[in-house]
Structure formats: C-alpha cells, structure tokens
Amino acid sequence: MPRLSGRLLPEPFVNTSLLAAAALAFAAAAPVAAQPVPKDPSAVSIGQLKDNYLACERMAMRGALDSRTAAVCSAYYEALLKRGFDGDFDRMFAWWRNATAPRGFAGG
C-alpha cells in the first residue's frame, strides 16, 4: 500500500491525487454544464473544487484518465488540499471518506 508522509493510504485515495482533472474533463463533457469549467483551479469555488475532485476520482476508477487530464486533476487536488482544508491531509481524507461513503443505509 502506498505511503504519504509515512502514512499508509487506502488504495482508492491514492489515485485521487491524479483525479481532480478528470472532473474537469467530465464536467466539460457533460451536456448540462452551463458554464465552461476553468482550467485554473484558483478560479473556482471550494465547492467546485470538491465536485471536480470527486469527478476526477470517478473517472480514474474507470481508467478514463489520460496524462493531460491527470495533470489537471492533480492541480485540483493540490488546490483543494490547500484552499479547502488548509493543507490538512487528515481533514481532507475525512471529508473524502464521508463524500464517497455509500448512501441510503439507515440500519445498524
């Protein structure tokens, strides 16, 4: 399992550093997108960074990332970590786990 700063990372999260750009490609290709997705992650809101990051992750999980898209996703990951979580990887990881948790289970 890969490591970051001496910590073991779960496999799905490891790919996410390359995933933020996939969100760009995904959002740009979506017919419902009313506005073009900026290539500069500093030009979007934190909410958009999160959405793009998660879209990148979905694309990466499907193996749909080319090198250009992966580079953009990486830039979105870095911007989200810095702007959205003040560089705190643990906070970002907690958000990611919650954002990607299966929905609809109310049992115990």
Query: What is the distance of C-alpha 53 from the center of its chain?
Result: 2
Instruction: Please state, in angstroms and rounded to a whole number, the distance separating the CA atoms of residues 92 and 6.
Output: 17
Amino acid occupying residue 50: K
pLDDT of residue 17: 47
Whether 79 maps to a domain, the answer reads yes
92, 80 in Cβ contact below 8 A? Answer: yes
Which is nearest to 53 in space by CA: 20, 84, 82? 20
Show the domain range for 72: 12-100
Whether 4 maps to a domain, the answer reads no
Which is nearest to 19 in space by CA: 77, 62, 97, 96? 77
Whether 106 maps to a domain, the answer reads no
Q: Is the pTM of this model over 0.75?
A: no
Whether 2 maps to a domain, the answer reads no
Whether 3 maps to a domain, the answer reads no
Whether 7 maps to a domain, the answer reads no
Q: List, for residues 17-48, the tens digit of each pLDDT value.
A: 445 445 444 444 443 333 344 568 888 999 99
86 Cβ contact list (under 8 Å, min separation 6)? none
The one-character DSSP state at 35 is S
* pLDDT exceeds 70 at position 3: no
Whether 22 maps to a domain, the answer reads yes
Split into its structural domains, the chain has a count of 1
Whether 70 maps to a domain, the answer reads yes
Give the distance between the most distant pair of CA atoms in the chain: 43
